[in-house]
Amino acid sequence: MRNPIDTRAELESYLQTAIQVEHATIPPYLTALYSLKPDPQHSNVASFQIIRAVLVEEMLHLGLAANLLNAVGGAPDLIRPGFVPNYPAYLPTGETDFEVGLESFSRRAIDTFLKIERPTPPPATESFVKVNNVAYVKHEVLATGRKKGRGMLPHFRATTDKGDELFLHFWSIGEFYKAIAAGFRQLAYNLTEKELFIGDAGRQVGPEHYYSSGGEILTVTNLQTALQAIDLISGQGEGSAGRIYNDKGELSHYYRFDQIRQGRYYRVGTDLPDKPTGHAFEVYWDEVYPIRPNVKVADLPPHSELREAAINFNHQYKTFLHRIHDALNGAPADLMPSFADMFTIKEAALRLIHNPLPSGGGNAAATFEMS
Amino acid sequence: MMVAPEQASSRTYDVVIVGAGIAAAIIANEVSKEPGVRTLVVEAGLGHAMSQEGYQRYLETFYAAIDKDNNAPYPMNPNADMPRTSVLKKLARGETNSKAYWVQFGPYVSDSAYSRVLGGTTMHWEGKTIRMLRQDFNMRKQYGHGLDWPIDLDVLMPYYRRAEWEIGVSGEVASQRALGVEFEKDYVYPMHEMPPSYLDQVVAKDLNGMKLRLDEQEYELSLSTFPQGRNGIPNKAYKPLNGGTMFQPVGAVTFHQSEEGERCQGNTNCVPLCPVQAKYDARKTLAKALATGRVDVLTQAVASEVRFNKSNGSVQDITVKVYQSRERADHRTFTVRGKIFILAANAVENARLLLESAVRGNLTLNERIGQNLMDHPYLLAWGLMRKNGGVGRGPLVTSGIFGAAPSGDTLRNGSFRRKQAAFAVDIHNDGWGWVDGSPVSTLMDAVDNLNKYGAGLRQELVDRISRQLLLAFMVEMPAQRTNRVTVDPAYPDALGNLRPKVTLAVPDYSMAGIEYARTLSRLVFQRLGAEDFTNYNPQNYGYRTYNGHGYEIRGGNHLAGTHIMGTCGADSVVDSYQKSWEHPNLYLVGAGSMPTIGTSNTTLTITALCMRSAEAIIKDLKQQPAELHSH
């Protein structure tokens, strides 16, 4: 069986994609989060905390993915064209049965979030599982079956025994990281660990640089720490070994969002999938600012305050990405000061989200257009 | 877990604790590590805050409150009332204010406060965790003022260390050492110091190196950070002190995962509540105790009488009044029983409960109960700097002004302590908020008096607020038996419990320190080129004159001394383990046990003392109840 990753270039490309995947979830989560109205009577505080907690971990994952790439001598690129998807967009993992967009907190948005975070399913009897006319395969199967890649990741048309046409790609973000883990193992064996981990340790983001509440960032210097970092990402994302919790007993992202769908908390450590038994909380689906989905600068009246605010937001976000980019490319100590930007980004986003479009159809929002 | 009063009163616990603040949480947590020990915690206030939603409600109440005092997040609860500044007024000599929870008599009015909610006063503390100095423990021997402790610093050293782990302290040992604070060799705090704010850096640039003469010594001033109970960056060098692993900051208290509170974000909104729970509060420790399954918490239960066994003086049980709603006074009365009883309801409430018990039981208790009430009087001085100091960033306070003389004396401990009180000086990152409620007052002034609006108003606010420099002097106060808590049947609360009558007069020794603090503030403003706006209003309830000058004195919320420890029952209420001399199964814990408080905020020392008491309690429990020996 061939690994999807068996050259350094492939590994670097996967890790760059990993950074893009982690980042691609942030604008949708932020938009939904900031669309919640701060109404003390009908407060969506529980939903707010849940989305916020996932968001904080996605930022940690971005840092971990950058550490993985830096460890093998690569260079994270957060400013390349297309780094920020043009929403609505497919995730960079190549899943094509759903798009991710910028919209208000809603049942639909939560369903999308659940798709983003969907856990690896129970083993299928066939080599793939067919859902919505799209087949998902485990990464090993995808590797053996690889014909030609579309973009940087294996992703191709195939037909079933019955002649149905299928589009094969990763099942989930978790499967994607499994491919990366396998690639690390393979390359460490092929090249030796010493030859694989040639990155400058000074480029690693350590706990002294990273200020987060979503868990502690790990520096990556060898195969063991690389696999630990991957475990942390996929464990927080979709739980460990098919359970809904990771090794530290944290609920995985999918089931955190599921709490909003069900209006009830999971009791950590004891509850089974889909059957939360913790205390119930109210979800006020209407207590949100009604954002027009995936609004663009071009949708806003020329020379209006809203348009200026949208352009200003994009400028701020671009500056923020540049600062993070520079920090991840050899100046990790600059990471912390750049987080202060988050406060101005929040204010700039709220200014848009709180205001209706003059043309109707909902409120404005940050457009995350970087070019 | 949370327990109903019927259940709680049907059991005999090993340990019954009155109060759910830091002293109670520490003891509950320590004793619950013993497998067989069952503990009941009795809390007078509402018990909402053990979830993140409950905490969030407090925050929202605070945001919406017009009068943002320390207790503003906590809804009015006449069944477990607490001091609030909004009901204070200036009192003429002999005049009484019985509207406020504390009954106070003119001319002395203190706005010191504590919180009667789950988590206690850590639900509004600022988070400074300063160790006491060696000399603070024998003030009388050294300087002829205040009292001496029955133990010295060396006894507390290992407990300070454990307290700093439990609270999760961010700080810098080297700079504390330079100020005379003692640590064990190779010690570091669990987390690195909170970085000095931009304001600190601006002030330090002009102030560092300034010299002043005091008591024939020359002191050189400099800025230094305070150790704080708020989450920062874990220190790698702490690993060897933590079993080889990095210190894990403790985040928000919650029943589910929220990924909040693991780091301070510098919201400058630390008091009363940190919006992200990066500041330690006692709920964090209480949550660990509850997780053992061996600790029950009974909320909305106000202890009203400690009943003693007439033959040997031991506590028999405690009567509690359990109310259903803060809006109504109707309640049911239960008794709770245990082998050992701990009063951990803070200095004023511990004394209040015992004094009320004496009235109800017609008993004569140790005469020092309620006496020697202490606090840290605060003097504020405020000025406007010439340049932008970036006010409004960082936690409430990051640095203080310290002075050191070549002899090793410092402004916290020097030869001058024979004549006048020492003090610690905070630089506030939130501008003049404590003085007059700025930025709201600055806004009102700009609109009403300067007719500013639009962009001009925004500019005016930025220009002024960013230059507001506030120095807060925390002055030491020696114990005096006339400063005291008593009770009077004429002043009951809604449940019929007797409210505390409080006399808290600032002694001349502290006034001399305050007078010098004002002098120092003038010198500092002069050195910085700041315009001095300090102005003490004679109509303020804390106004007090000394040597012909008037000062507004504010309460420090560091109430202490009402059941001081000593060497025997003739000079004190408890022994060095905070165990009552007269009642063999009763501990009175918290700052009430402290004979002096020096220039250290009391919480860290309370924590250390309670860790030590917990060991004594476990030892007591291991003996048969009948053998619980008297002194």
A97 lies in a domain?
Answer: yes
* The pLDDT of residue B256 is above 80: no
Is B453 at the interface with chain A, CB within 8 A? no
A300 lies in a domain?
Answer: no
In the structure encoding, which two tokens stand for residue B204, read together? 């330090």
Among the partner-chain residues B53, B255, B260, the one whose CB lies closest to the CB of A213 is: B260
User: Do you know the residue count of chain B?
Assistant: 631
Over the stretch B23-62, which tens digit does the pLDDT of each residue have? 999 999 999 999 999 999 999 998 776 777 788 888 888 8
A47 with A104, same domain? yes
Percent of chain B with pLDDT over 90: 85
A250 lies in a domain?
Answer: yes
| Nearest Cα to Cα of residue A332 among A199, A208, A217 | A208
CA A27/CA A58 separation, integer angstroms? 11
In the structure encoding, which two tokens stand for residue A343, read together? 């406060």
Most A CBs within 10 Å, among B63, B256, B265, B268, to test the A interface: B256
| Nearest Cα to Cα of residue B468 among B507, B498, B438 | B438
Higher pLDDT, B628 or B417: B417
A133 with A216, same domain? no
A19 with A135, same domain? no
Q: Which residues of A touch B255 (CB under 8 A)?
A: 265, 278-279
A54 lies in a domain?
Answer: yes
Average pLDDT over residues B569-587: 97
A115 lies in a domain?
Answer: yes
A21 with A157, same domain? no
Q: Which residues of B touch A236 (CB under 8 A)?
A: none
Q: Give the closest-approach CA distance of A58 to chain B in angstroms.
A: 12
Among the partner-chain residues A53, A208, A279, the one whose CB lies closest to the CB of B257 is: A53
* The pLDDT of residue B65 is above 90: no
CB A128 within 8 A of CB A168: yes
Q: Which residues of A touch B261 (CB under 8 A)?
A: 213
> Of A262, A282, A308, which one is at a domain's C-terminal end?
A262
Is B522 at the interface with chain A, CB within 8 A? no
> Can you give the pLDDT at residue A151?
44
In the structure encoding, which two tokens stand for residue A185, read together? 């193992």
What confidence tier does A359 reach under pLDDT thresholds 50, 70, 90? confident
CA B75/CA B59 separation, integer angstroms? 11
Of the listed ranges B266-280, B316-330, B598-612, the least confidently predicted one is B266-280
Q: Give the closest-approach CA distance of A265 to chain B in angstroms.
A: 7
Give A49's contacts (C-beta < 8 A, 6+ positions apart): B52, B258, B260
* The pLDDT of residue B323 is above 50: yes
Residue of A nearest to B262 (CA): A213
Say if the Cβ atoms of A250 and B262 lie within 8 Å: no
* The pLDDT of residue B431 is above 80: yes
A167 with A191, same domain? no
* The pLDDT of residue B207 is above 50: yes
Of the listed ranges A21-30, A168-177, A258-267, B244-253, the least confidently predicted one is A168-177
DSSP label of B184:
-
Mean pLDDT estimate for chain B: 94
A137 with A42, same domain? no
What confidence tier does B86 reach under pLDDT thresholds 50, 70, 90? confident
Q: Give the closest-approach CA distance of B233 to chain A in angstroms.
A: 6
> Can you give the pLDDT at residue A367?
97
* Phi, psi at A229, each rounded to 5°: -65, -40
* The pLDDT of residue B625 is above 70: no
Per the structure, the count of domains in chain A is 2
Return the number of CB contacts < 8 Å for A and B. 55
Give A167's contacts (C-beta < 8 A, 6+ positions apart): A96, A134, A135, A155, A156, A157, A158
What is the span of the domain harbouring residue A103? 8-120+173-262
* Backbone Cα Rg of chain B: 23
A36 with A91, same domain? yes
CATH number for the domain harbouring residue A51: 1.20.1260.10
CA A224/CA B208 separation, integer angstroms? 48
A70 with A158, same domain? no
A15 with A152, same domain? no
A44 lies in a domain?
Answer: yes
> Of A207, A242, A262, which one is at a domain's C-terminal end?
A262
Mean pLDDT estimate for chain A: 85
Higher pLDDT, A92 or B43: B43
What confidence tier does A130 reach under pLDDT thresholds 50, 70, 90? low
What confidence tier does B629 reach under pLDDT thresholds 50, 70, 90? very low
A361 lies in a domain?
Answer: no
To the nearest 10°, report the CA torsion of B345, B348, B352, B355: 110
Q: Which residues of A touch B58 (CB under 8 A)?
A: none
Instruction: For this complex, say whether ipTM is above 0.85.
Output: no
Of the listed ranges A159-163, A323-327, B138-142, the least confidently predicted one is A159-163
* The pLDDT of residue B259 is above 80: no
> Of A262, A288, A310, which one is at a domain's C-terminal end?
A262
CA B21/CA B44 separation, integer angstroms? 11
A96 with A202, same domain? yes
A138 with A252, same domain? no
Percent composition of chain A: helix, strand, coil (DSSP 3-state, to 5): 45, 10, 45
Average pLDDT over residues A275-304: 93
A333 lies in a domain?
Answer: no
Say if the Cβ atoms of A266 and B259 lie within 8 Å: no
CB B602 within 8 A of CB B558: yes
What confidence tier does B181 reach under pLDDT thresholds 50, 70, 90? very high
What confidence tier does A150 reach under pLDDT thresholds 50, 70, 90? very low
Is B257 at the interface with chain A, CB within 8 A? yes
Is B263 at the interface with chain A, CB within 8 A? yes
Among the partner-chain residues B64, B234, B262, the one whose CB lies closest to the CB of A213 is: B262
Token look-up 């050259």 returns: A7
Say if the Cβ atoms of A213 and B257 lie within 8 Å: no
* The pLDDT of residue B547 is above 70: yes
Q: Which residues of B touch A279 (CB under 8 A)?
A: 255
* The pLDDT of residue B67 is above 90: no
Q: Which residues of A touch B257 (CB under 8 A)?
A: 53, 250-251, 256, 268
Average pLDDT over residues A213-236: 87
What confidence tier does B174 reach under pLDDT thresholds 50, 70, 90? very high
Of the listed ranges A98-102, A296-300, B54-58, B478-482, the least confidently predicted one is B54-58
Say if the Cβ atoms of B56 and A43 lie within 8 Å: yes
CB B134 within 8 A of CB B143: no
Average pLDDT over residues A146-150: 45
Cis peptide before A88 (omega within 30 of 0): yes
Average pLDDT over residues B196-224: 96
Among the partner-chain residues B192, B233, B258, the one whose CB lies closest to the CB of A53 is: B258
* The pLDDT of residue A40 is above 90: no
Is B53 at the interface with chain A, CB within 8 A? yes
A140 with A114, same domain? no
